[in-house]
Structure 1
Amino acid sequence: MKKIIGIMGFLTVLTGCSNSDHKEQRKDETKKEQSLPQKKESGSKGPETPENRISKEEAVKQAVKQFEAYLPNILKTYDDGGIDLQEPYVGDFTGDGIEDVVIYWNIAPKGGNALIGQGLSLYKNDGHTVKVIAGYEPDYLFAFDTIKNGKIIVEKLEYTEEDGRCCPSIKTKHALTIKGSKVY
C-alpha cells in the first residue's frame, strides 16, 4: 500500500512538473505571438498602422501606372502634343497622416519646346492603394513648389515685358484648396 501511495505521489509530482513546463512553454509562445507584428488580413477592420501600409515607393508606382493609363485621354485635348514632363511628388495633402501622391506634368508640341498644357493629378493614398481624386489644369503658367502643412503649394508664373520666353520673373505662391474632386 505504501508503495502504491509512493508511486502515486511520485507520478503526481512528475505530472505537476510536466504541466508547469507545458504552462511555461505556452506562456513563451504567447509572448512570441504578441511581439510579432500582426499582418492585416484583407477586409479586416483592424487598426491602421505604419507597418501594414504600402510604402511611399509603392504608392508612387501605383499612381504613375494609373496616370500613364489615363494619359492618352489628356493628350486627346492637346493637338500634336506629347508628354514633356511627368514628375511625382509625395506628401500628405489630405490630412489623414498618410503620404499622398501628386504627379506634375507638362505637354509640349511634338518637335517643339513650348508648353501647350500642364497640370497636376492628385492621388489619395488610403494605406493600401492610391486613387485619383482630382486634376488641376489652370489657365495660367505655374510650377509645382511643395506639399507642406497639408497643402499643395504652386507658384503662379507671369512675365514682365523684359522677360524672355524661358524665364518668367513674377512668381506668386498659391496654396491649392481641394474640395471633393475640385482643386483651385
Structure 2
Amino acid sequence: MKNIIGIIGLLAVLTGCNNSDRKVQQKDELKEQSLSKEKESHSKESEVSKDRISKEEAVKLAMKQFDAYLPKILKTYDDGVIDLQDPHVGDFTGDGIEDVAIYWNIAPEGGNALIGQGLSLYKNDGHTVKVIAGYEPDYLFAFDTIKNGKIIVEKLEYTEEDGRCCPSIKTKHALTIKGSKVY
C-alpha cells in the first residue's frame, strides 16, 4: 500500500512538474510572438521612415519653391531686395512630420531698413513639401521658435527712447494656422 501511495505521489509530482514546464514553455512562446510582432512593427515603421524625405531635403524643396515665388513677393515692395531667408524646421501641422517655415525680410536696394517681412509656411507630408500659408503682419516681428506644434514669434515695438535699430518691447505670440490663414 505504501508503495502504491508512493508511486501515486511520484506521478503527481512528475505531472505537476510537467504542467509547470508546459506553462513556462507557453509563456516563452507568447514572449517570442510578442517580440516578433514588435520587430515586424518597427520594421514597417522604419520602411515608412526610409521612404520619407529628410529634414534637409524638405528644407531644400521649400527653399526652391520660395525662390520661385520670390519675384511675386518683391513686386509688392518697390525697389525692395531680399535681405534674409532663414528656414526653420518643426512640426506645426500636428502630423508628427517636421514642416518648414521660412522667415524672410525685404530691404530697400542699397539700404538697411526693413520694408517688409513675413513667414512662408510649407507642410511636409513625408514625400514633398507644399506651401500652405503666408504670414505678413502689419507690425514688426522676429521669428522665435517652433515648439509644441506652434510657431512662436515676437512682436516688436519701440518706446520713445529706442533707437531705430533696437525695439525694446517684445511680446511673444503663438501663431494659429487655419486653412491658408495665419494669425
2:178 aligns with 179
Structure 2: gaps (5+ residues): 1-39
Structure-to-structure mapping, 1:1-184, within 5 angstroms: 49-184=48-183
SS state at 2:62 partner: helix
Distance 1:108 1:90 in 2: 24
TM-score (norm 1): 0.75
1:143-183 superposed Cα distances (whole Å, 9 cap, x missing partner): 00000000000000000000000000000000000000000
Using the TM superposition, give the Cα deviation of residue 138 of structure 1 relative to its aligned residue in structure 2, in angstroms: 0.0
Q: CA RMSD in A?
A: 2.1
Distance 2:80 2:120 in 1: 18
- Give 2:144's aligned amino acid: D
Distance 1:163 1:127 in 2: 45
Q: Which 4+ residue blocks in structure 1 deviate beyond 6 angstroms?
A: none
Using the TM superposition, give the Cα deviation of residue 52 of structure 1 relative to its aligned residue in structure 2, in angstroms: 1.7
TM-score (norm 2): 0.75
- Give 1:88's aligned amino acid: P
Distance 1:91 1:47 in 2: 20
Using the TM superposition, give the Cα deviation of residue 49 of structure 1 relative to its aligned residue in structure 2, in angstroms: 2.8
Structure 1: gaps (5+ residues): 1-33, 39-45
Distance 1:48 1:93 in 2: 24
Using the TM superposition, give the Cα deviation of residue 51 of structure 1 relative to its aligned residue in structure 2, in angstroms: 2.2
Aligned CA distance change for structure 1 residues 118 and 143 (closer, same or farther; 3 Å): same
Aligned residues: 144
